[in-house]
Structure 1
Amino acid sequence: MLRKIRQILALVFFVCITLLFLDFTGTVHAWLGWMAKIQFIPALFAVNTAVLVFLFLLTFIFGRVYCSVICPLGVMQDVISRISGMRKKKKNRFTYSTAYFYLRNIVLVIFVAAFFLGIGSVVALLSPYSSYGRIASNLLAPVWQFGNNILAYFAERADSYAFYSTEVWIKSLPTFIIALVTFVVIFILAWRNGRTYCNTICPVGTILGYISKFSLFKVEIDSEKCKNCRLCSMQCKASCIDIKNHSIDYTRCVSCMNCLDSCKHDAIHYVPSFGKKKKDNEQKEAKSVETDNSRRTFLTTAALISAGSALKAQEMKVDGGLAKIIDKKVPHRNTPILPPGALSKNSFAKKCTGCQLCVSVCPNQVLRPSTDLMRFMQPEMSYEKGYCRPECGKCAEVCPTDAIHLVSLAEKSSTQIGHAVFIVENCVAVKDGVECGNCARHCPAGAIKMIRRSEGDKSSPQIPSVNVERCIGCGACENLCPARPFSAIYVEGHERHRMI
């Protein structure tokens, strides 16, 4: 029964969190957005004390159920492992292996160092929630959107608008490659050995593993009833049951309950562990050094993390159906553009985990993962396919770490995230001698006005003049500029946002 309950809850969490990354309409987040906010790393970066206390207590009472129920990357590994067992027709295929404590602790130290130093790219690579977010948004979302477009195609011909098509494109090739490599590595490890990634690489698994070592409820083996048949050990995807010594490595056990149903001698149970005495004193003495080291590592890590938390219009492709329009290229920006609510470059870099949730839900297609090494995979804005509309706040609504702080639409319209820069040699009015004024007509802040290039000469072409004090950096001018491949006007980001 415990195993069935765990499987149902895990499936619900896995499907719902996946939908958060697949839903390009943003409607699912109103109901399921809280599932992203209770993930360990987002809660840590958001300094969400209530969630962190809940997860620590959950682990202290029941063991690492977070890893087997709430974490989408962990559940994905279980699904892959389950399929592997069905194809190989081997239900009992796992064996006990010793823990790689040194590797786990080294990865944990790297993660904590990156957390303190604000190296978001390293955190994004090691965070299990962010890793799954990249897999879902880069590998699954295009397939989902392509299927949606097929339905939209047939619905349109049936005079139905239940579906609408959306553009399928790769927002960042490096991030796509990393997502693909991450998936392949985790797939191979899970296919062959179950929870290898969770118990050797994942820093969240290591942190919670040290807590689960002292959990109140544990899976325990009754040595008097045990016949050493090894069925429980062969069912353990965490490879943590040493049936020879009738012991379990609780730092790796994810409380999946698979071992409970496999025992035919009623020798293994999920029971309260408090108040019980060790039956084997020699075994206790042999493991005392390891236990002390584990306790010290956990306390040190918890102290470091606590201290760190305290500090912390779809574009038309043809012109009149006659001439094909050349795609715009990304201009060079000295400072990246961050969405309203990010506050500043440093603040955003320290809080963002690069989970890609905001990139997936952005209806204007202005967010995409950064390729800068210091901010690798963290979102930044660019306006080739759209601009940041004043009436939209989807990215802030879904951000689980509050890296993009949710502000009112009035505040957003008054937040200066950058300013427009005019490149006179790119302007069609200068190059082709035609009247344009597209940037001035569509500027929502009224920061652009058209002036004669040569003052007093009425035959001189009109070019835009930007009031940088009034410009909010929304990118409407850059996006709607007809110049190709580079716009005649582009937005330069600000390191620190300000109200105007």
Structure 2
Amino acid sequence: MLRKIRLTLAILFFTLVTLLFLDFTGTAHAWFRWMAKIQFLPAVLALNIGAVVLLILLTLVFGRIYCSVICPLGVFQDAVAWLGKKRKKNRYGYSKALNWLRYGVLGLFIVALIAGIGSLVALLAPYSSYGRMANNLFQPLWQWSNNGLAYLSERAGNYAFYSVDVWMKSLSTFIIAAFTFIIIAILAWRGGRTYCNTICPVGTVLGFLAKYAWLKPVIDTSKCVNCNLCARNCKSACIDVKEHKIDYSRCVACMDCIGKCHKGAISYTHPSGKDATPASNEKIDNTRRSFLTTTTVLATTSALKAQEKNVDGGLAKIEDKLIPNRTTPLTPPGSFSARNLTQHCTACQLCISACPNGVLRPSTDLMKLMQPEMSYERGYCRPECTKCSEVCPAGAIHPLTVEDKSAVQIGHAVWVKKNCIPLRDGVDCGNCARHCPTGAIQMVPSDPDRSDSPKIPIINVERCIGCGACENLCPARPFSAIYVEGHEMHRTV
């Protein structure tokens, strides 16, 4: 029964968290974005004390239930391991914990956080790893399926579905997501929870706490017949049947051992007497304690720079726009500054998958790898849209109201005279002024002494909020005649 409850909750969490990355309508985000906010590392980075305390209490009461129910990467591994069982049953066995590797990776992870090596942090963070897989591998399949349904329903005279644009936001991030998928799938197929118990820094921290959990799987030596069935079905490889002990730092409370034991020798209860001794008799040194304390000190550094090419919006294919060379990168409204964004961002890419305007995409810069960046080749940051600030679980982008966003200046427009169509081609334009939502751009004669001279834009930088409507809708190719330069610190207009 316990296993069925755990499986039901795990499937529910996994499905809904995955939908957060797949759903382009915003419906899932409206109801279930809290599931992203209770993931361990994003909650710590966001200083979400309630979520962190809840997860710690859950671990101290139930063990590593977070890893087997709430963490999507953990549930994904269970799904792959279950498929592996179809090929060969009773295929696991007890192995000693590789504590030198577990705590070594955790130490490296913390050093990377403090040193600001955001790309390494993003590679090791479990929720972020799954987010990249969902955003880069699963989302295109979901969107193509939707477009197929839209095509069929349109032919039937039904418009319940609508087509969406499917595009690769970053080749490098796609490759990393594909490699992550392959590596974790192979590890799970062959060894179950190998990744969780040797590499995952969150698993190591929670495993440290799980040693002191109130409820644990406990072996009743008077009933155990040493059949080894529990150990051969333990995907965490943490049951030592010979010693009748369980390494609770690696146990993810999946309840598989309880379901497989035909003698009822394993129960999920509070250990007492000699059973209360943790499976691992190694002394918990001060280094481990310092690791746990240091995990609250989270700081990463990176800046944002766009390197993608795309086509302008419209009905006809035209020449690709190229990304301008911005001196200062653009960060989303609500991030306050590039520094705040990089201190909290885990590169989970939930904001990228939720952006309806194609403004956010993963960075390809090695030092800022996979963190979100803004660019306006496919769309612009509409003042009425607050999706990224609503879904960010790590506090990298703070929630904003529509009114607040309309007053946040993330950058200012810059005019490039040599690219401007009225001067270059001798035809009227004014697209930038017509579409500026704040009225920060006006068209004036290029020659003050001639009222009939070609009109060019002038920009009121005090009113400009840096939304990028002018840059996106400028017809000049390959570079826009007007682009947005970012601000290190956001301002209020």
TM range (shorter): over 0.9
Q: Which residue of 2 aligns with 1:159?
A: 157
Q: Which amino acid aligns with 2:79?
A: V
Q: Which residue of 2 aligns with 1:321?
A: none
Tell me, in whole angstroms, the C-alpha distance in 1 between the residues paired with 2:276 and 2:61. 22
Q: Which residue of 2 aligns with 1:276?
A: 273
Q: Which residue of 2 aligns with 1:316?
A: 314
Tell me, in whole angstroms, the C-alpha distance in 1 between the residues paired with 2:375 and 2:296. 35
Deviations along 1:332-371, one digit per CA (max 9) or x if unpaired, are: 2222111110001111110111111111011111011112
Deviations along 1:391-446, one digit per CA (max 9) or x if unpaired, are: 11111111112211112212211111011111111122122111001001111111
The secondary structure found in structure 1 opposite 2:27 is coil
Output the TM-score relative to the length of structure 2: 0.94
Q: Which residue of 2 aligns with 1:197?
A: 195
Matches within 5 A, 1:400-415: 400-415=393-408
Tell me, in whole angstroms, the C-alpha distance in 2 between the residues paired with 1:37 and 1:184. 27
1:450 is displaced (CA, Å) by 1.4
Matched, 1:488 2:481: yes
Matched, 1:34 2:26: no
Tell me, in whole angstroms, the C-alpha distance in 2 between the residues paired with 1:450 and 1:316. 23
The secondary structure found in structure 1 opposite 2:413 is strand
Q: Which amino acid aligns with 1:491?
A: V
The secondary structure found in structure 2 opposite 1:291 is coil
1:378 is displaced (CA, Å) by 1.2
The secondary structure found in structure 2 opposite 1:31 is helix
The secondary structure found in structure 2 opposite 1:292 is coil
Equivalent residue for 1:463, pick from 434, 456, 461: 456
Matches within 5 A, 1:169-248: 169-248=167-246
Residues 278 and 232 (structure 1), Cα distance of their counterparts in 2 relative to 1, 3 Å cut: closer
1:49 is displaced (CA, Å) by 0.9
Output the TM-score relative to the length of structure 1: 0.93
Note if contact 1:119-1:350 (Cα within 8 Å) is conserved in structure 2.
Answer: no
Note if contact 1:352-1:378 (Cα within 8 Å) is conserved in structure 2.
Answer: yes
Q: Which amino acid aligns with 2:80?
A: I
Matches within 5 A, 1:234-383: 234-273=232-271, 275-277=272-274, 288=281, 290-293=282-285, 296-308=286-298, 315-318=313-316, 324-383=317-376
Q: State the identity as a percent.
A: 59
The CA RMSD measured in Å over matched residues stands at 1.8
Note if contact 2:312-2:472 (Cα within 8 Å) is conserved in structure 1.
Answer: no
Note if contact 1:134-1:356 (Cα within 8 Å) is conserved in structure 2.
Answer: yes
Q: Which amino acid aligns with 2:355?
A: C
Q: Which amino acid aligns with 2:3?
A: R
The secondary structure found in structure 2 opposite 1:51 is helix
Residues 222 and 439 (structure 1), Cα distance of their counterparts in 2 relative to 1, 3 Å cut: same
Q: Which residue of 1 aligns with 2:55?
A: 55
1:453 is displaced (CA, Å) by 2.5
Note if contact 1:358-1:398 (Cα within 8 Å) is conserved in structure 2.
Answer: yes
1:278 is displaced (CA, Å) by 5.2
Note if contact 1:80-1:190 (Cα within 8 Å) is conserved in structure 2.
Answer: yes
Tell me, in whole angstroms, the C-alpha distance in 1 between the residues paired with 2:182 and 2:137. 11
1:114 is displaced (CA, Å) by 2.4
Note if contact 2:298-2:344 (Cα within 8 Å) is conserved in structure 1.
Answer: no
Q: Which amino acid aligns with 1:133?
A: G
Deviations along 1:212-238, one digit per CA (max 9) or x if unpaired, are: 111111112223322221111110001
The secondary structure found in structure 1 opposite 2:361 is strand
- Structure 1, unaligned runs of 5 or more: 319-323
- Structure 2, unaligned runs of 5 or more: 300-310
Q: Which residue of 2 aligns with 1:388?
A: 381
Q: Which amino acid aligns with 1:182?
A: T
Tell me, in whole angstroms, the C-alpha distance in 2 between the residues paired with 1:63 and 1:490. 53
The secondary structure found in structure 2 opposite 1:389 is coil
The secondary structure found in structure 2 opposite 1:446 is coil
Note if contact 1:207-1:298 (Cα within 8 Å) is conserved in structure 2.
Answer: no
Tell me, in whole angstroms, the C-alpha distance in 2 between the residues paired with 1:291 and 1:53. 26
Matched, 1:437 2:430: yes
1:78 is displaced (CA, Å) by 0.4
Matched, 1:450 2:434: no
Tell me, in whole angstroms, the C-alpha distance in 2 between the residues paired with 1:401 and 1:263. 41
Q: Which amino acid aligns with 1:425?
A: K
Residues 40 and 279 (structure 1), Cα distance of their counterparts in 2 relative to 1, 3 Å cut: closer
1:124 is displaced (CA, Å) by 1.4
Deviations along 1:145-192, one digit per CA (max 9) or x if unpaired, are: 011111111222233221111100011111111111111100111111
1:276 is displaced (CA, Å) by 2.0
Q: Which residue of 2 aligns with 1:80?
A: 80
1:30 is displaced (CA, Å) by 1.2
Note if contact 1:231-1:262 (Cα within 8 Å) is conserved in structure 2.
Answer: yes
Q: Compare 104-113 and 217-226 and name the one that shifted more.
A: 217-226
Tell me, in whole angstroms, the C-alpha distance in 1 between the residues paired with 2:362 and 2:438. 27
Matched, 1:68 2:63: no
Note if contact 1:317-1:325 (Cα within 8 Å) is conserved in structure 2.
Answer: no
Which consecutive aligned stretches of 4+ in structure 1 deviate over 6 angstroms post-superposition?
none
